[in-house]
């Protein structure tokens, strides 16, 4: 028997950063995101020799252990180890023997939610294998706890829910663990037009998102007024984006993206840099009406709204920076699991 799963990566279109504590606990957060046709994959092959094999194809890492209740967290494939440790502690109570193989369509530090999406994919495979009693909210929350609490990795909450639910969602975040996912029913012609005009650009750089997120959280704790006000504006941006997409007012998308980007840069140092600023300026000069960095900032993927058939001109203009446009489609499904 082989158990497989896949979970989609996401584009954060508005509100990014307001899902991060302590801001979300103090003020409540709101985000609009959409899953895309890039995925994290996980495959489990049960074994009978009391061995555990962890194999990350994209990282070119392979680890082998004797089957034990707890695997040491030491910086090597810690996401997989952390998930296994929680599965044993919370559900099985005894060691398991298996081979886990993973792959992600985008590199770490891309800003597309790769690590959290991989956690969801691996959890989904374990859930399918062991018939765990996990609904969508349960699985997303468990993924969040493993990454943020068990492994103490800095970050927000949107990625786990985007990967689990899929589709275009307006998400609300409240004090504690309360999250409400509101799926948006968008007319297909609006979604097709959004995908046509929205260019996903890989800067071919990466960043350590945890450093930016920690700085952002510190600004909230220290009551840094400009940073907190910027986050308030981003929460407002999520509502603006939701209304524009639902009502088909796509001519406003670029302006709303730019509104968010100008305020996002005020949340913490390191969100933008000279390269990102130059890319943004050239895109705007060649027909884009707005854009943003994907994820926490500092590198990875950027998105640009390019109306009036300007997408090709923008893509051509950005070639000088050495990055590449990424082909994608919006997807409606979230986490998917199956056995063969």
Residue 285 pLDDT greater than 70, yes or no: yes
CA-CA distances (angstroms) from residue 268 to 109, 154, 286? 17, 15, 28
The proportion of the chain whose per-residue pLDDT surpasses 70, expressed as a percent, equals: 99
171 and 196 in a common domain: no
Domain check: are 208 and 241 in the same one? yes
Average pLDDT over residues 248-273: 93
Residues 33 and 138 in one domain: yes
Max mean pLDDT among 39-53, 147-161, 167-181, 267-281 falls in 39-53
Q: Is 337 among the domain residues? A: no
Distance of alpha carbon 68 from alpha carbon 52, whole angstroms: 8
- 185 versus 270: which is more confidently predicted? 185
Mean pLDDT over 15-20 rounds to 92
Q: Which residues are catalytic?
A: 159
Which CATH number is 19's domain given? 3.30.230.10
Mean pLDDT of 222-228: 90
pLDDT attached to residue 207:
64
Are 185 and 203 within 8 A, CB to CB? no
Has residue 334 been placed in a domain? no
Instruction: Give the integer Cα–Cα distance in Å for 62 and 100.
Output: 10
CATH code for the domain of 309? 3.30.70.890
pLDDT of residue 321: 95
The answer to whether residues 58 and 107 touch, using CB atoms and an 8 Å cutoff, is: yes
**123 with 261, same domain?**
no
**What number is the average pLDDT over the span 226-234?**
94
129 and 150 share one domain: yes
* Claim to verify: residue 72 and residue 45 sit in the same structural domain: yes
336 falls in which pLDDT band (50, 70, 90)? Answer: very high
Question: Are 129 and 171 in the same domain?
Answer: yes
SS3 assignment, position 237: helix
Instruction: Give yes or no for residue 306 having a pLDDT over 80.
Output: yes
User: Are residue 146 and residue 164 in the same domain, yes or no?
Assistant: yes
- pLDDT bin (cut points 50, 70, 90) of residue 69 is very high
Give me the mean pLDDT over the 141-155 stretch: 94
The residue from 158, 185, 212 where one domain ends is: 185
Domain boundary among 185, 205, 226: 185
In a domain, 195, yes or no: yes
Residue 340 in any domain: the answer is no
Q: Look at residue 331 and tell me if it is in a domain.
A: no
What pLDDT score was predicted for residue 81? 98
Task: Please tell me the total count of domains within the chain.
Answer: 2
Residues 243 and 287 both lie in one domain: yes
Residue 330 within a domain: no
Among the ranges given (84-88, 173-177, 248-252, 332-336), the one the predictor scored with the smallest mean pLDDT: 173-177
My answer on whether 225 and 106 are in the same domain is: no
pLDDT band at 60 (very low <50, low <70, confident <90, very high): very high
- Last residue of one domain, picked from the residues 153, 185, 217: 185
Q: Do 336 and 5 touch, CB atoms closer than 8 A?
A: yes
- The answer to the question of residue 335 being in a domain is no
Select from 38, 37, 21 the least CA-distant residue to 218: 21
Q: What is the mean pLDDT of residues 276-292?
A: 97
Among the listed residues 306, 296, 221, 304, the one whose alpha carbon sits nearest the alpha carbon of residue 265: 296
Closest-CA residue to 298 (of 199, 201, 200, 206): 206
Question: How far apart, in whole angstroms, are the C-alpha atoms of residue 33 and residue 12?
Answer: 4
| pLDDT at residue number 295 | 82
Does some domain include residue 118?
A: yes
Range of the domain at 264: 188-325
- Which of the four pLDDT bands, split at 50, 70 and 90, describes residue 155? confident
Asked whether residue 85 falls in the same domain as residue 204, the answer is: no
4: phi > 0 → left, psi -120 to 50 → alpha, else beta; which? Answer: beta
User: Are residues 147 and 211 part of one domain?
Assistant: no
Say if residue 184 is preceded by a cis peptide, omega within 30 of 0: no
- Cβ proximity of 69 and 95 under 8 Å: yes
């Amino acid at each position: 028997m082989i158990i497989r799963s896949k979970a989609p990566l996401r584009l954060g279109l508005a509100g990014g950063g307001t899902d991060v504590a302590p801001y979300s606990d103090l003020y409540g957060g709101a985000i609009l995101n959409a899953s895309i046709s890039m995925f994290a994959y996980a495959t489990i092959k049960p074994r009978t020799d009391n061995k555990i094999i962890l194999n990350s194809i994209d990282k070119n890492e392979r680890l082998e252990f004797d089957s034990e209740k707890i695997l040491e967290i030491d910086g090597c494939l810690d996401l997989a180890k952390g998930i296994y440790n929680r599965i044993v502690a919370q559900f099985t109570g005894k060691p398991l023997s298996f081979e886990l193989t993973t792959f992600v369509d985008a590199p770490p530090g891309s800003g597309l939610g790769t690590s959290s999406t991989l956690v969801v994919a691996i959890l989904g495979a374990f859930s399918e294998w062991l018939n765990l009693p996990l609904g969508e909210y349960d699985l997303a929350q468990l993924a969040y706890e493993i990454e943020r609490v068990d492994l103490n990795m800095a970050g927000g909450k949107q990625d786990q829910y985007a990967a689990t639910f899929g589709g275009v969602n307006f998400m609300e975040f409240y004090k504690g663990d309360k999250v409400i996912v509101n799926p948006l029913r968008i007319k297909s012609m609006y979604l097709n037009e959004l995908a046509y005009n929205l260019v996903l650009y890989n800067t071919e750089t990466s960043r350590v998102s945890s450093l930016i997120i920690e700085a952002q959280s510190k600004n909230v704790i220290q009551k840094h007024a400009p940073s907190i006000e910027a986050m308030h504006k981003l929460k407002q941006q999520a509502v603006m984006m939701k209304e524009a997409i639902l009502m088909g007012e796509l001519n406003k998308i670029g302006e709303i993206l730019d509104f968010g980007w100008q305020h996002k840069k005020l949340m913490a140092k390191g969100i933008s840099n000279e390269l990102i600023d130059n890319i943004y300026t050239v895109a705007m000069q060649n027909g884009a009406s707005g854009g943003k960095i994907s994820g926490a900032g500092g590198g990875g993927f950027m998105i640009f709204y390019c109306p009036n058939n300007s997408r090709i001109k923008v893509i051509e203009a950005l070639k000088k920076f050495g990055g590449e446009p990424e082909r994608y489609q919006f997807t409606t499904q979230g986490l998917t699991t199956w056995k063969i």
